[in-house]
């Protein structure tokens, strides 16, 4: 009698997971055996004490891990630091991480996966991190291979699946051995891009300023706002104008165009801000400090 058959005598609900199998209606807990076989046991058959006992000699896995290809599992074990080296035979020249989130909990993972993979020239490792978050490892095997632009597909996907989408795209990296550290950093940036609602498709350079802001304790941030912004701290319209002005490289004409405002009116607001705060935002260092503070303000 096999080891799995012995378990099945104690747990009649036991199933052996096959690739492509849909998740049962009942709640199941999955384990990976030493032979790399994934089995599932209904939670109703598995009290917590017995679950802890089985977990001591079987590896618990999430249901979405059962859908991983061999290559995806090797990537996951590597970036999760379970393996010291990436065991994939055909390793890419470079990679970048694309993290995504969906708002609709009922979105079918397999259908969404298929639609997302269609955006790439070949199938990329795609790992679900939970019900609403996932990771794509975009692999580059040829020097001339171009990165996929998600800006052109995000609206189509949102329309097709009736869900809000958010993508974070990391910088490219050549040192594959450093992928676990790179992934940890990418996920932090992904979390910040969601926290500050930076848009549907966000890149590394857009997140960097928020890393500095987010690292400040809230009480210190509030103290800086009061010290620097003074009486204009509550003037949201003025602060929004100043933010656009700074994002435009302090170019008055460009900022006025973006704000649908006359150039003289914009200049008046900039002068008003300088007069009220004593901070000359036309000077790079002073403007940078104000801009970082304004990133934290919901305008």
CATH number of the domain within which 124 lies: 3.30.70.270
Pair 116, 157 in one domain: yes
Average pLDDT of the chain? 89
CA 107, 110, 115: angle at the middle one, nearest 5? 85
| CATH code of residue 242 | 1.10.10.2840
Pair 255, 288 in one domain: yes
Domain containing 285: what range? Answer: 216-296
Checking if the pLDDT of 39 tops 90, the result is no
Pair 267, 280 in one domain: yes
Q: In the chain, how many domains are there? A: 3
Name the burial class of residue 169, with classes exposed (0-12), middle (13-18) and buried (19+) by CB atoms within 10 angstroms of its CB.
buried
What's the pLDDT score for residue 240? 96
With bands split at pLDDT 50, 70 and 90, how would you rate the model's confidence at 19?
low
Pair 172, 254 in one domain: no
Pair 180, 85 in one domain: yes
Query: What pLDDT digit, counting tens, does each position of 133-172 carry?
Result: 999 999 999 999 999 999 989 999 999 999 999 999 999 9
Among 24, 46, 66, residue at a domain's last position: 66
What's the pLDDT score for residue 26? 62
What's the pLDDT score for residue 207? 94
The mean pLDDT of 116-137, rounded to a whole number, is 91
Among 181, 208, 235, residue at a domain's last position: 208
Question: Phi and psi for 203 in degrees, rounded to 5?
Answer: -110, 170
Pair 250, 268 in one domain: yes
Q: Which of 8-22, 93-107, 238-252 has the lowest mean pLDDT?
A: 8-22
Pair 174, 265 in one domain: no
Percent of the chain with pLDDT over 70: 95
Pair 202, 223 in one domain: no
């Amino acid at each position: 009698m096999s080891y799995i058959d012995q378990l099945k005598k104690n747990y009649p609900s036991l199933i052996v997971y096959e690739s492509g199998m849909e998740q049962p209606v009942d709640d199941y807990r999955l384990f990976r055996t030493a032979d790399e076989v994934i089995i599932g046991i209904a939670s109703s058959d598995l009290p917590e004490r017995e679950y802890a006992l089985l977990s001591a000699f079987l590896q618990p896995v999430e249901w979405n891990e059962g859908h991983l290809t061999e290559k995806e599992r090797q990537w996951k074990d590597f970036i999760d630091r379970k393996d010291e080296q990436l065991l994939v035979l055909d390793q890419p020249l470079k990679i970048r991480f694309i993290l995504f989130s969906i708002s609709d909990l009922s979105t079918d993972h397999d259908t969404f996966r298929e639609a997302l993979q269609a955006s790439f020239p070949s199938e990329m490792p795609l790992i679900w991190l939970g019900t609403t978050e996932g990771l794509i490892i975009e692999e580059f095997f040829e020097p001339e291979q171009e990165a996929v632009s998600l800006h052109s597909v995000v609206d189509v996907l949102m329309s097709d699946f009736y869900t809000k989408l958010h993508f974070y795209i990391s910088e490219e990296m050549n040192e594959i051995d450093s992928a676990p550290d790179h992934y940890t950093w990418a996920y932090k940036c992904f979390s910040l891009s969601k926290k500050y609602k930076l848009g549907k498709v966000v890149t590394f350079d857009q997140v960097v300023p928020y890393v500095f802001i987010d690292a400040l304790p809230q009480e210190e941030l509030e103290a800086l706002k009061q010290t620097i912004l003074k009486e204009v701290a509550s003037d949201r319209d003025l602060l929004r104008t100043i933010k656009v002005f700074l994002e435009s490289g302090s170019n008055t004409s460009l900022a006025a165009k973006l704000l649908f405002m006359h150039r003289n009116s914009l200049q008046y607001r900039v002068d008003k801000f300088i007069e009220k705060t004593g901070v000359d935002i036309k000077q790079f260092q002073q403007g940078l400090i104000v801009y970082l503070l304004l990133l934290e303000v919901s305008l």
